[in-house]
A and B are shown apart, each in its own frame.
Chain A
Amino acid sequence: MGLLLLAQSIVAYYAGRFSDIFGRKILLILEGYSHAIVVLLFLFLIETWQLYVLQIIIGVLAGLEASAGMSFLGDITRKQTRGRDIGKYFMIVGIISSLTMMIGGYIVVAVGIKFIFIAMAVANIISSSLLLKIKENKLFFTANKALK
């Protein structure tokens, strides 16, 4: 977990800078598809060091998601209702995550750990495909690129 957090923290800054120049959408989509691949790699773990490598990669992806996702939420919400909208987002996503975590033990026993990793990969692919529908203001990021 320490490795994951360290990687996440270092990447967060650079991901934020990158998202200012190239846009949040591309980073979020790349993160989602990469996450799907990494999650599937957990099924092929043999050595302990491979687990550490995957934890670091997940940390990198979490850093990408944290910076690009938070910036994106800022972009798509109005100043007047930003707190409410971002709060609503974290409430809904947090409640669902916590509920599945609470019954997670039973689910793992019922369907097996392999199924969980495959389900997560599928969920990430669906989620990233949904993000393809986002319309981003390209002019803003092109202007930022020119400033660099």
Chain B
Amino acid sequence: MGRKRNYQIYLTANIVTSFAGGVLGLSISFLSNKKAVD
């Protein structure tokens, strides 16, 4: 029971970050390229 609960919490927590995570990767790449050009 405890394992299942922990699994659900961990999955939910990572779903929250994965929403922003995909866009963040792009943003960091964009920023890196911009700085490299500058």
Q: What is the interface of chain A, defined by CB distance below 8 A to chain B?
A: 32, 39, 42, 45, 48, 51, 55, 58, 69, 72-73, 75-78, 85, 89, 92-94, 96-102, 104-105, 107-108, 113, 116-117, 119-120, 122-124, 126-128, 130-131, 133-136
Contacts and interface: CB of A to CB of B under 8 A. Distances in A.
6 contacts: A51-B32, A51-B35, A76-B10, A122-B20, A135-B2, A135-B6
Contacts, number: 118
Contact of B19 (A51, A89, A96, A135): A96
Given A45-B31, A78-B3, A120 B13 contact: no
| Secondary structure call for the B interface | helix
Interface of A: prevailing SS? helix
